[in-house]
């Protein structure tokens, strides 16, 4: 859901010249500045590394729910994929900005009792210590979908549908954000940057301001 929202904002922004999406399946979106690469092995990006050259930023919005997962499995889909992508990109272009969609409550000590928070914290530490020109951790919580953005998870869409009448009220709370503001904040993280590298919803909303 977050990735869809970020992509839409990038497509609509005159500040974004070119977009590359790495996917397992084709998008139903066609746009002059959009290039799509279909890649099946997200644990090894070496086969498509030539496609990754020349970009100013990576907006890494991929993620899985920890519900029902053992730690080793969640680690594989959260940390291992991010490590493979970040290392490949750093070798190609260490001067890029790397943005990572994390979560509220992430534990960068890597020692807490909450499994997903430890793994997310380890992933954040990996990125922040990689050496990129800049990097931002988007610790999102409540994200209100806009412009028809939907989750791939049915029960999540059901919850959002029930909440839709309350969107105007929810948007007034500075601790909530929208898919539009997340996308705008990611774009601005490249263009203007932020002194703070760990961004909760409140700071995302501030960075989204043009």
- pLDDT tens, 46-64? 999 999 999 999 999 998 8
The predicted structure's pLDDT at residue 158: 82
Q: Distance (Å, rounded) from C-alpha 91 to C-alpha 80?
A: 17
Q: Distance (Å, rounded) from C-alpha 23 to C-alpha 103?
A: 22
The predicted structure's pLDDT at residue 101: 97
Burial of 138 (0-12, 13-18, 19+ CB in 10 A): buried
The predicted structure's pLDDT at residue 136: 98
Phi, psi for 81 (deg, rounded to 5): -65, -45
- pLDDT tens, 67-106? 899 999 999 999 999 999 999 999 999 999 999 999 999 9
Q: Distance (Å, rounded) from C-alpha 177 to C-alpha 166?
A: 14
Spans of the chain below 70 pLDDT: none
Domains of the chain are 2-207 (3.40.50.720)
Read off the pTM: 0.93
């Amino acid at each position: 859901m977050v990735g869809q929202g970020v992509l839409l904002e990038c497509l609509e922004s005159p500040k974004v010249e070119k977009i590359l999406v790495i996917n397992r399946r084709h998008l139903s979106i066609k746009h002059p500045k959009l290039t799509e690469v279909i890649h099946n092995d997200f644990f090894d990006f070496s086969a498509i590394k030539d496609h990754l050259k020349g970009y100013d930023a990576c907006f890494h919005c991929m993620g899985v729910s920890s519900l029902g997962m053992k730690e080793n499995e969640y680690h594989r889909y959260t940390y291992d994929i991010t490590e493979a992508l970040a290392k490949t990109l750093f070798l190609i272009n260490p001067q890029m900005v790397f943005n990572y969609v994390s979560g509220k409550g992430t534990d960068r000590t890597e020692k807490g009792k909450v499994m997903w928070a430890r793994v997310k914290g380890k992933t954040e530490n990996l990125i922040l210590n990689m050496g990129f020109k800049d990097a931002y951790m988007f610790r999102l919580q409540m994200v209100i979908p806009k412009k028809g953005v939907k989750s791939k998870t049915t029960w999540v869409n059901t919850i959002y549908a029930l909440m839709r009448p309350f969107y105007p009220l929810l948007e007034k709370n500075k601790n909530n954000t929208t898919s539009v503001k997340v996308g705008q904040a990611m774009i601005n993280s490249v263009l203007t940057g932020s002194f703070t590298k760990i961004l909760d919803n409140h700071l995302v909303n501030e960075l989204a301001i043009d």
